[in-house]
Amino acid sequence: MTESTYIHGTAPEEQRRLSLLNDVLLNPASLHEIGLQGSERIIDFGSGLGQFTRAMARAASHGKAVGIERNEEQLALARRLAAEDGEAELVEFRQGDVLGAELEWGTYDLAHTRFVLEHVPDPLRVVKTMVRAVRPGGRVILADDDHDVLRMWPESPGFAELWRAYMRTYDRIGNDPFIGRRLVQLLHEAGAQPVRNTWIFFGGCAGMEIFPTLAANMRGVVWSARDAILSMGLFEETAFDVVMSEAELWAARKDAAIWFSMAWAEGRRPQLSS
């Protein structure tokens, strides 16, 4: 398998963007969809800064959570944040690639991954690993982007063209910017039985208290990929900066709206035949 590439980097501003996105918007909606009942044994593939891993562990009450993260800087910060919040014992954070981690195979009740499959060249292999990790009857939950669903209205000048250039960076490194639409298929091909799919909406409009955060997040997604976009010759540097400045002005419009959703799908590992 070719080494996966994360085009957004791990700079402090990118970590702040992800942290804010997690805490303000995605985690509550994601927890609602998962519907933890308590006492589940959970493994989170690509746990990042660990906020959602810890949120799942809290929701599972008497359960246990393991977070797998390959980036040592993110792993160290995840452990520090957990300690600062008095939750150092809530999650076991392990360093390792989602494909190379040593696990207690077939013992977990729930395997979860979010915003990981879009960044790996062989997402099916990741899902197969997740299916292997859970017990028979255990759940596998995939959540990821289909970048083609983004709509901003009224259109911010040039942003649609820049967004298309951003999506092309995925193709250039062998990843899939449209992986969200494939989640159910991936579950099936990995040997899980698909049971449900839905959207988790994280758009918004002017007038919502959270809208400035949402607009800043969309700009941050593109800005963190700036080096990749420019180095691949997908957009001209001066034009990039102009479009981003226009997007900042656009966010102050009283009729601005962002329509964007994360694809979410759930499957189960088949029960052993008697």
For residue range 131-166, list pLDDT tens digits in order: 999 999 999 999 999 999 999 999 999 999 999 999
Spatial contact of 143 and 262, defined as CB atoms under 8 Å apart? yes
Q: CA 106, 140, 81 angle in degrees (round to 5)? A: 90
Q: Judge contact between 156 and 246, C-beta under 8 A.
A: yes
Angle 9-15-19 (CA atoms, 0-180°, nearest 5)?
A: 140
What's the CATH code of the domain at 69?
Answer: 3.40.50.150
User: According to the model, what pLDDT value does residue 1 have?
Assistant: 40
pLDDT at 202: 86
Positions of the chain with pLDDT lower than 50, given as ranges: 1-2
Q: Is residue 215 part of a domain?
A: yes
Whole-number pLDDT of residue 101: 76
For residue 102, the SS3 value is coil
Q: How many domains does the chain have?
A: 1
Q: Is residue 96 part of a domain?
A: yes
Give Cβ neighbours of residue 73 (< 8 Å, ≥ 6 apart). Answer: 10
Asked whether residue 5 is assigned to any structural domain, the reply reads no
Beta pairing class for 108-114 and 193-201 = unpaired
1 lies in some domain: no
Is 273 a member of any domain?
no
- 149 contacts: CB under 8 Å, gap ≥ 6: 180, 259, 260, 261
Please provide the size of the chain in residues: 274
User: 197 lies in which domain range?
Assistant: 12-268
Decide if 274 is inside a domain.
Answer: no
Biggest distance spanned by C-alpha atoms of the chain: 65
